[in-house]
Amino acid sequence: MAHVDVGNGNKTSTLEQLQEWVRGTEALLGPIVVIGNDGSQTAGTFDQNNPANPGPNSDANVRQTNDGSAPPGKTKVCDGWPFVSGQVVHVVIYR
């Protein structure tokens, strides 16, 4: 079992709080590979077979997006539709 699905237990996190949740959960379970929702909360899939911190300055960044692409020069991890402040929002996660 390499991947584990967990939720953050709410819909109301801000984008900054969501980013903190991703970073904290990566420290606990490993790098995030999927972000989304299960209808009642934000959820993510984390890869337990890989190091929590793949390299220096490797904290995950979460930003709202229109097209799912990472900013220039950044490496995209995944994009999806978690809850942000009660709404389903398209975000991209990158390092």
- Residue 82 token pair: 């978690």
**How far, in Å, CA of 20 to CA of 72, rounded?**
22
Over the window 30 to 49, marking each residue x when it contacts other proteins by CB under 8 A and - when it does not, the resulting string is: x---xxxxxx-x-x----x-
Interface pick for other proteins out of 33, 53, 58, 61 (rule CB under 8 A): 53
Is residue 87 at the binding interface for other proteins, with CB under 8 A as the rule? yes
Query: Which residues are bridge partners to 33 per DSSP?
Result: none
Output 15 or 34, the one with its CB closest to other proteins. 34
Using only the alpha carbons of the chain, give its radius of gyration.
12
Interface pick for other proteins out of 83, 84, 92, 93 (rule CB under 8 A): 83
Q: Which residues contact 53 (CB under 8 A, 6 or more apart)?
A: 26, 27
Widest CA span in the chain = 34
Footprint of other proteins (CB under 8 A): 1, 4-9, 17, 20-21, 23-25, 27-30, 34-39, 41, 43, 48, 52-53, 80-81, 83, 86-88, 90
